[in-house]
Structure 1
Amino acid sequence: MSDSELMSIGSFAQRCGLTASALRFYADSGLLLPAEIDPVTGYRFYREDQLARAVLLRRLREIGMSLPCVNSALYADVVDAIRSVDDHVTTVMREAESVRQQAAAITNTLTGRSGLEVARLSGPVLASAIEQILTATIDDPDIAVLGGVHVEAGPGVLTMTASDRYRLSTRSLVSYVDGVPAWAATVNGDDLRQRLSDLRRTPSVTMKVTDHAMSLRLTGHSDHHCRFVSEPFPDYRSMLDTLPAVTCRVEVPAAELLHALEQRSNDWVWLCSSNNNLVVHGDLLPDIEIPARVNGRAVDVWFDMTTLYPAISTAVGADVLLDFRGPERPATVRSADRGDLTTLVMPIAAPRENTTRGHTP
């Protein structure tokens, strides 16, 4: 190999983003050997085709992978290398969560507060409710509160609410703590999501709160700490109190409506009422008519699929009630026989490209 095809350690370091000292260390570790070493000067030289390996080595180390794991990944095939990276990320996240939980416990110890008990609930029931409410959250780095769940506790009741601005879900649960004073805070949604697996397997959970966090004490488990979101939650009760009157109420089988929505390939959904049917229009697909109880003025309204479908799929019970207030007002989705989960869904304007059946936006 000619000298013109080799790079000095300095040039190679600049190309791959590693320092010269790091390259010497990785050479001594057997992870990246130089192509040649001058026997007189001891200078190290590298080839162009070693760059990809050097860059991969650097990136693996940047995510905190140990030298033995890096060595295995560098010599593995693509599938095994990807598995190694995934396993490393899983381990790091598990360790980070463990550290966070321990830090929260230390904080509680330092403050000398064991926490105020605000609720006692069934673990599986709480898990189900959290899953339903989390569908109305969104990860928005600029508005952290939209990724949180607003939790309110009072004598004998716990209410959870979330909103992503286009949808609002709220559910109330029976709590077996009667003497609790009114309390409310917005809890980090990701922290609650990580607790779902344990909640489903725990018959009872006690909810305690401090100034810094909410703790879930599960039977047979250590406490799980959930952080608070500092931003104030929107005044959703005022919004609910000022909703216009319902102009049409439709009671429809939830399973049939979900099946009809699943046949649509569009990003939007167009609903109309027709006699004793709710019609899911299909654009290029046939309309689907679902037998329904319809009371009030005719329905002609559009929704984003990503907004409407989760609201229907999380509704409790066999039949779902849809309360419409017009094409530009929030619609209410709730169970026909259980009112403990209520979701508000914002309609959208008719898509401009749609000309189905002569519909004019």
Structure 2
Amino acid sequence: MDDNDGLMSIGAFARRVGLAPSALRFYDDCDVLRPASVDDATGYRYYSPGQEARAVLVRRLREAGMPLTDATVVLDGTRAEARAVLEAHARRAREAAESAQSAIEEVLRDLPGGARRATARLGGAELASAVRQVAPAVATGPAREEFPALGCVLIELDRQEVRLVATDRYRLAVRALRPSSAEGDPCRLLVGVSELADLASWALREPDISIEVDQQGGRLHGAGATRDLPAVDATFPDYRMVLDGLPATRHRIIADRAALRAATAAAGHDGPLTLRTDEQQLTLVSRGAPTATPAAVCTGPPVRIAFDPGVLLQALDSGVGPDVLLEISSPIEPVVVRSADQGSFTSLVMPVHDTPADE
């Protein structure tokens, strides 16, 4: 019970602040929340009203899953230290939640017999454009024969986006579309690129279409007509792991997409094409000789990086908008190629070996 000095017993204080008495004893032992007074004869702990704010903060931090070592910084550190710890913990919590959600969705997709279904509505021309953008990244030839999934486009539906993904292991193209409406569980479907290209031609003439995916496969619904999305039973590579594993960007090149494309095409396909940045200037080098200096904004330290011209051309052709952005981490890591002002389409291009020559 409360004593005559205004102190509260551990039980009363526990009810006041929403903590169990056992938790209060633990925080006393850890020197996080010491009682205001301890009876020498009985060992009973007593707490003052002035300790309520600290106790409630302790409870809130622990409810958020914060370790005691970090909680003590928030409790007793400077304002800047507390903010840094809180922001770092929030970031870790978001990453853990996203990882758990992704894992659970993956398990749900693999569960047999579940009545999973998703629908999304978007413009027919928008879908056709997305197919055009990702299709060049689909594998052909021996790679496609060895890995049938690489000859397909992955279609993913959730409540926020419809994503189309394609890769041949040297390129990766991801286009995210914002549906006008969406409902159901996260679903995915693999569709052969030829079949999807035919469906895209049909969708181009439809003002609006609805994509439906369930356990039986997928369908496109237009104005009075329905077309099947023939599913391919194969395992698509984990493209999210590739994107999440990209190193930090150290160099950025922003250029006129048409001008860079013209310069790349003019360099020809006889050997790799090297992009070199120095003193805020972009130079294209082919067969050891500079061939063009298209206008560009270059940030970061100087870099030289080589590409297969045909692969780079396809990435530039698939882009949208007047400008193109190249995000480079190193001359041997995948390069992100996307619109400078619109991130709904992302293409990854692998560099090739560059042998410097006298220029």
TM-score relative to the length of structure 2: 0.64
Residue matched to 1:167:
171
Whichever residue aligns with residue 241 of structure 1, its letter is D
1:277 aligns with 2:277: no
1:245 aligns with 2:248: yes
- SS for the counterpart of 2:258 is helix
Residue matched to 1:346:
350
Take 2:288 and 2:353, find their aligned partners in 1: how far apart are those partners? Answer: 19
Whichever residue aligns with residue 325 of structure 2, its letter is L
Residue matched to 1:228:
231
Take 2:277 and 2:291, find their aligned partners in 1: how far apart are those partners? Answer: 12
Take 2:119 and 2:130, find their aligned partners in 1: how far apart are those partners? Answer: 17
Take 1:270 and 1:345, find their aligned partners in 2: how far apart are those partners? Answer: 14
Among 199, 211, 219, the alignment partner of 1:215 is: 219
Residue matched to 2:198:
194
In structure 2, list runs of 5 or more residues that go unmatched.
1-114
Contact residue 315 and residue 347 of structure 2 kept, 8 A: yes
In structure 1, list runs of 5 or more residues that go unmatched.
1-113
Whichever residue aligns with residue 209 of structure 1, its letter is V
- SS for the counterpart of 2:183 is coil
Whichever residue aligns with residue 297 of structure 1, its letter is P
Take 1:219 and 1:323, find their aligned partners in 2: how far apart are those partners? Answer: 41
Residue matched to 1:152:
156
Q: Deviations over 1:214-253 (max 9, x none)?
A: 1111224x32112222221111111211111111011111
Whichever residue aligns with residue 294 of structure 1, its letter is C
Give the 3 Å change call, closer, same or farther, for CA 117–243 of structure 1 in structure 2.
Answer: closer
Take 2:154 and 2:277, find their aligned partners in 1: how far apart are those partners? Answer: 35
Count of equivalent residues: 241
Residue matched to 1:138:
139
* Cα offset, 1:179, TM superposition: 2.7
* Cα offset, 1:268, TM superposition: 2.4
Whichever residue aligns with residue 195 of structure 1, its letter is L
TM-score relative to the length of structure 1: 0.63
Take 1:298 and 1:291, find their aligned partners in 2: how far apart are those partners? Answer: 16
Residue matched to 1:320:
324
Contact residue 118 and residue 182 of structure 2 kept, 8 A: no
Residue matched to 2:46:
none
Matches within 5 A, 1:27-176: 116-139=117-140, 140-176=144-180
Contact residue 267 and residue 306 of structure 1 kept, 8 A: no
Q: Mean alpha-carbon deviation: is it higher for 289-298 or for 204-213?
A: 204-213
Q: Mean alpha-carbon deviation: is it higher for 171-180 or for 234-243?
A: 171-180
* Cα offset, 1:180, TM superposition: 2.2
Residue matched to 1:259:
262
Q: Deviations over 1:95-139 (max 9, x none)?
A: xxxxxxxxxxxxxxxxxxx99452111000100001101111013
Q: Deviations over 1:275-318 (max 9, x none)?
A: 22211113276520012111112121111122211111111111
* Cα offset, 1:329, TM superposition: 0.4
Take 1:274 and 1:288, find their aligned partners in 2: how far apart are those partners? Answer: 14
Contact residue 117 and residue 206 of structure 1 kept, 8 A: no
1:178 aligns with 2:182: yes
Contact residue 330 and residue 346 of structure 1 kept, 8 A: yes
- SS for the counterpart of 1:216 is strand
Contact residue 331 and residue 344 of structure 1 kept, 8 A: yes
Residue matched to 1:63:
none
Take 1:284 and 1:295, find their aligned partners in 2: how far apart are those partners? Answer: 24
Contact residue 277 and residue 289 of structure 1 kept, 8 A: yes
- SS for the counterpart of 1:192 is helix
Q: How well do the aligned residues superpose, as a CA RMSD in angstroms?
A: 1.9
Take 1:226 and 1:134, find their aligned partners in 2: how far apart are those partners? Answer: 16
Residue matched to 2:39:
none
